[in-house]
Chains A and B, each alone.
Chain A
Amino acid sequence: MLKIEQLKFSYPVTTSKAKKNTSNTHPMCFDLTVNAGEILSIVGPSGSGKSTLLNLIAGFDKAKSGEILLHGQDINHYDISKRPVTTVFQEHNLFPHLDVFTNIAIGIQPSLKLSYDEKLEINLALEQVGLFEYSSRKPAELSGGQRQRVAIARALVRKHEVLLLDEPLAALGPAMREEIIELLKQIVINENIMALLVSHQPSDAILASERCAFINEGKVLIIDETKQLLQHPQQAEIKAYLGLS
């Protein structure tokens, strides 16, 4: 289980008054839990702190205080590379000069000196995401959905327990989104992964997850069943976000 407790962070905000810059802060504080084999959707207005939450878990941003407990152990003070976390971004997940196979391989062995077992593992992951025949292609020769599948395959071979999905569906069409969501659900269950999916589309969240967290102004406002939360919202903030008020 992944448990986030009182994870605090603030971005320095500069406002130019006259010629002098003055600094103030916009505080954020997160609390939530993700179970093994579960995708937790994260929704909320732009700038509410969804991506910041993922950056804090991955270590790209440093939290001021609080805990990130993985099976009871705080990983908040670990270096980025030491955290058992893999992130799939909206874009630029792949290196353009490397082919599909190498893009996955670099996730487990930066020197690219692979053992037989590691090669086998990469081929298995490629098969799992349905791209086995594309292994020698360059990213430019793939569609947007195929590129995201490669990134997911890399996440698979890295075998990390936490998968952070930072709007990985944003650049895809409706059919492709559904396809990727199905793939993610299958992988998360099979590998017993804890996944957080940031999405701007309520329909993606409904399709991908049983539970959903609504984030507003740097805080988790509510965690509830996704359908209940997004189809029958009670809170004014969620209604405003969905354009229902």
Chain B
Amino acid sequence: MVLLAFFISAPLLSLFFASNLLGRQFTQAQAVTLSFWNNPYLQRVIVFSLLQAGLSTLLSVSLGLIVARAFARFGKFPLRHIILSLFGLPLVVPAIVAVLGIISVYGSHGWLPLGSKLYGLTGILLAHLFFNLPLAIRLLLPVWQSIPQQHWRISSQLSMTTRQQWKHLEWPALREALPGVVLLIFMLCLTSFAVVLSLGGGPKSTTLEVAIYQSLRFDFDPSLAVVLSLLQLGISLLLALLATKLTYKPDVEATLNTFNTQIPHSSSKLFLGLLIAVASVFVLSPLLAMIIEAFQGPINEVLTDSKLWQAAAFSLMIGLCAGLISVSLAWSLLSASTQHAYWGNKKLASLFELSGSIIYVVPPLVIGTGLFILLSQTINVFEWAIPLVIIINGLMGLPFVIRTLGPAIRQHTMRYQRLCAGLDLHGWQRFKQIDFPLLRKPIGLSMALVTSMAMGDLGVIALFGTPETATLPLLLYQRLSAYQIPQATITAVFLLMSCLVTFWLLEHFIGKQQKAQYA
């Protein structure tokens, strides 16, 4: 926990000190702040950040609600299980790859060309919808599954109309889940970096995250970066505070129970099927278009380029190291938390678990900026790009690991803590003989999630990376910026495949299924 506190607080403190707000008189600080508040660029950035996040959330959640309801009411839709599993793909597809997919469909040479309109708010909304529509569906569908079968039967006996079912059964259940889902998607859109950077199209469509990056890498204006970072942090903290008021916390998991409760449906099957089909085409077409386009491009030229393989090696190294850091830190925090919870120290247990999730409210670019400013005085940060990217990605993965591994460790502790204590099983022997064999499935899933997310991350590497230390996402962005679209598309497919294969290998080999069930 001390290590974690250091890595989060050090960059943040450096931001505060760098902004001079701590060292100067109040009046001076006020003047500095006021001058920024009167800055039209800053105002535009804040308004656009909130606007794009708000619109993306509105579209994703409202459409997600409609499609999730269609899935719930059309339980026997062909390929339902496969489609819902494929809707988990955007969780592991790197944002920059999705951007390429969106360009393949809606770009000037795409299937549905939008022309220059793609670069700006429209493109950002499309990309965010690509990511968050399936996420919203996967988060909302379990709400229908949580409505007891008996309630549907009673509603049938009472001859309720579809509208009455919505009012008396569906809406009361959804009302609890919706605020949490809305907040999560809003937060994801607000901190979205790669999408806005690639599809933002200039100062008109810039968010806080991208503005931080531009102020450091293009304008060389650390003071502006500091103010932007503090603003971003402030908004994130406000949202996090709001989140603590919500009782329902959505689980972001790669697995989804696609079990269907038999819900009587009165709507036309054709209409429901059409809704599901349109949503499926929208989500899957970017990936499909990109793969088709890649096969028509200069595959040999791209695959024989040593830069690609060097970038792949860096990406894999970053992914694996970040995964290891994340899983080890989460394991320590969760073990301490569950042990304390087991022996009755509930407050200390919550503190341990909360410390791992606190990173959720600190955007990676804010930590990156803090480290950039903190370390640039003493070392050449660009030479230390890879270790810095590993550390930040490792920290960013913590909340995901805690959500994936936490419930399993808690259940495991409840079942075996007393038995292990009674048998004098502890330390390495306990981990080797009991904990790892029983928890290898969630450990494998956590490792796979963080590794593939870190491999596809463009945020932090964009801040610290150089052509010599380019990872696959950075190489892809460089090719995209140089308008080498065919090469970029092949690189994107290569990155996508690398992430998926790594995810599968890690999940398969670390988390191989236990033959025996819990006794």
Q: Does B6 contact A (CB under 8 A)?
A: no
Q: Does B305 contact A (CB under 8 A)?
A: no
A106–B518 contact, CB under 8 A?
A: no
Q: Does A87 contact B (CB under 8 A)?
A: yes
A89–B419 contact, CB under 8 A?
A: yes
Q: Does B158 contact A (CB under 8 A)?
A: no
A93–B433 contact, CB under 8 A?
A: no
A97–B415 contact, CB under 8 A?
A: no
B422–A96 contact, CB under 8 A?
A: no
Residues of A within 8 Å of B424, CB to CB, are 80-81, 110
B415–A107 contact, CB under 8 A?
A: no
Interface centre among B422, B424, B425 (most CB of A within 10 A): B422
A139–B519 contact, CB under 8 A?
A: yes
Interface centre among A93, A95, A106, A111 (most CB of B within 10 A): A95
Residues of A within 8 Å of B514, CB to CB, are 96-97
A147–B519 contact, CB under 8 A?
A: yes
B421–A94 contact, CB under 8 A?
A: no
Residue of B nearest to A91 (CB): B519
Residue of A nearest to B415 (CB): A92
Residue of A nearest to B421 (CB): A80
Residues of B within 8 Å of A60, CB to CB, are 418, 421-422
CA distance A12 to B346 in the complex (A): 12
Q: Does A112 contact B (CB under 8 A)?
A: yes
B421–A93 contact, CB under 8 A?
A: no
A96–B429 contact, CB under 8 A?
A: no
Picked from B421, B422, B437, the residue with its CB within 8 Å of the CB of A97 is B437
CA distance A138 to B434 in the complex (A): 14
Q: Does B384 contact A (CB under 8 A)?
A: no
B415–A138 contact, CB under 8 A?
A: no
Residues of A within 8 Å of B434, CB to CB, are 95
A107–B519 contact, CB under 8 A?
A: no
A87–B422 contact, CB under 8 A?
A: yes
Residues of B within 8 Å of A92, CB to CB, are 415-416, 419, 518-519
Q: Does B3 contact A (CB under 8 A)?
A: no
Q: Mark B289-311, 1 if CB is under 8 A from A, else 0.
A: 00000000000000000000000
Residues of B within 8 Å of A81, CB to CB, are 421-422, 424, 426
Picked from B422, B430, B517, the residue with its CB within 8 Å of the CB of A58 is B422
Residues of B within 8 Å of A85, CB to CB, are 422
CA distance A86 to B515 in the complex (A): 28
A94–B519 contact, CB under 8 A?
A: yes
Residues of B within 8 Å of A120, CB to CB, are none
Q: Which of A7-44 contact B (CB under 8 A)?
A: 12
Q: Does A140 contact B (CB under 8 A)?
A: yes
B429–A111 contact, CB under 8 A?
A: yes
Residue of B nearest to A139 (CB): B519
A80 CB → nearest B CB, Å: 5
CA distance A80 to B422 in the complex (A): 6
Residues of B within 8 Å of A111, CB to CB, are 429
CA distance A86 to B423 in the complex (A): 8
Q: Does B516 contact A (CB under 8 A)?
A: yes
Residues of A within 8 Å of B519, CB to CB, are 91-96, 139-140, 147
A32 CB → nearest B CB, Å: 21
Residues of B within 8 Å of A107, CB to CB, are 423
Q: Mark A65-96, 1 if CB is under 8 A from B, else 0.
A: 00000000000000011000111010111111
Residues of B within 8 Å of A93, CB to CB, are 419, 519
B422–A139 contact, CB under 8 A?
A: no
Residues of B within 8 Å of A12, CB to CB, are 344
Q: Does B333 contact A (CB under 8 A)?
A: no
CA distance A97 to B418 in the complex (A): 18
A96–B419 contact, CB under 8 A?
A: no
CA distance A140 to B429 in the complex (A): 23
B338 CB → nearest A CB, Å: 15
A203 CB → nearest B CB, Å: 26
Picked from B418, B422, B438, B515, the residue with its CB within 8 Å of the CB of A95 is B438
CA distance A93 to B418 in the complex (A): 10
Residue of B nearest to A151 (CB): B419
B421–A138 contact, CB under 8 A?
A: no
A23 CB → nearest B CB, Å: 12
CA distance A80 to B416 in the complex (A): 14
A50 CB → nearest B CB, Å: 16
B438–A96 contact, CB under 8 A?
A: yes
CA distance A143 to B186 in the complex (A): 51
CA distance A31 to B516 in the complex (A): 42
Q: Which of B499-519 contact A (CB under 8 A)?
A: 514-519
CA distance A87 to B423 in the complex (A): 9
Q: Mark B415-457, 1 if CB is under 8 A from A, else 0.
A: 1101101111110011001100110000000000000000000
Evaluate whether A140 and B433 lie within 8 angstroms (CB atoms) in the complex, with A86-B422, A96-B438 already known: no
A114 CB → nearest B CB, Å: 13
Residue of A nearest to B424 (CB): A81
A192 CB → nearest B CB, Å: 21
CA distance A89 to B422 in the complex (A): 11
Picked from A59, A86, A87, A106, the residue with its CB within 8 Å of the CB of B433 is A106
CA distance A111 to B426 in the complex (A): 11
CA distance A138 to B516 in the complex (A): 7
Q: Mark B393-435, 1 if CB is under 8 A from A, else 0.
A: 0000000000000000000000110110111111001100110
CA distance A97 to B344 in the complex (A): 28
Interface centre among A93, A96, A107 (most CB of B within 10 A): A96
What 7 pairs across the A-B complex have the smallest Cβ distances? Answer: A139-B519, A81-B424, A138-B516, A110-B429, A140-B516, A97-B437, A94-B519
Q: A60-B418, A95-B433, A110-B423 are in contact. List 13 more A-B contacts (CB 8 A).
A: A59-B421, A60-B421, A60-B422, A80-B421, A81-B422, A81-B424, A87-B422, A91-B519, A92-B519, A93-B419, A112-B433, A140-B519, A141-B516
Interface residues in chain B, defined as those with a beta carbon under 8 Å from any beta carbon in chain A = 344, 415-416, 418-419, 421-426, 429-430, 433-434, 437-438, 514-519
Interface residues in chain A, defined as those with a beta carbon under 8 Å from any beta carbon in chain B = 12, 58-60, 80-81, 85-87, 89, 91-98, 106-107, 110-112, 138-141, 147
Sampled A-B contacts (7; CB under 8 Å)? A86-B422, A89-B418, A91-B519, A92-B419, A110-B423, A110-B425, A138-B515
